[in-house]
Amino acid sequence: MAIQIDKQGETTVERQSARLAPPPMYQVILLNDDYTPMEFVVGVLERVFGKSPEEAEKLMLKVHYEGRAVCGIYPRDIAATRVEIVRQLAQSRQHPLQCVMEPAPDA
């Protein structure tokens, strides 16, 4: 961090350049259950996470066989919003689909 010193008459002003760190990122994860229809999960992945039909189907199968899948990595507020949207969609259709967010591992 560089310090610049400006002398203005009798006053000395020190300025430090500030570096902003990128916001912490969170991964949004869908969890498997035995009751939510696969078609519903594919639709959620397409509508909420902007996945293509092929990507959505691959992620749905990953959730089904491995128990969970990362749907996207976002800043905290966006991740929390996506989790809430999934929760509301599932609840409105009376499906037990669960979605959580976790801090993303550093890349």
* 9 has a pLDDT exceeding 80: no
Q: What is the pLDDT of residues 35-66, one digit of tens each?
A: 999 999 999 999 999 999 999 999 999 999 99
What span, in angstroms and rounded, lies between the C-alpha atoms of 25 and 107?
11
pTM for the model:
0.80
Pair of tokens at residue 61:
């199968």
Pair of tokens at residue 90:
């599932």
Mean pLDDT on 71-86 = 98
What span, in angstroms and rounded, lies between the C-alpha atoms of 21 and 27?
18
Q: Which residue has the higher pLDDT, 41 or 5?
A: 41
Fold (topology level) of 24-103: Ribosomal Protein L30; Chain: A, (3.30.1390)
Reference 98, options 84, 57, 26, 39; nearest CA is 84
H or E segment and range at residue 73? strand 68-75
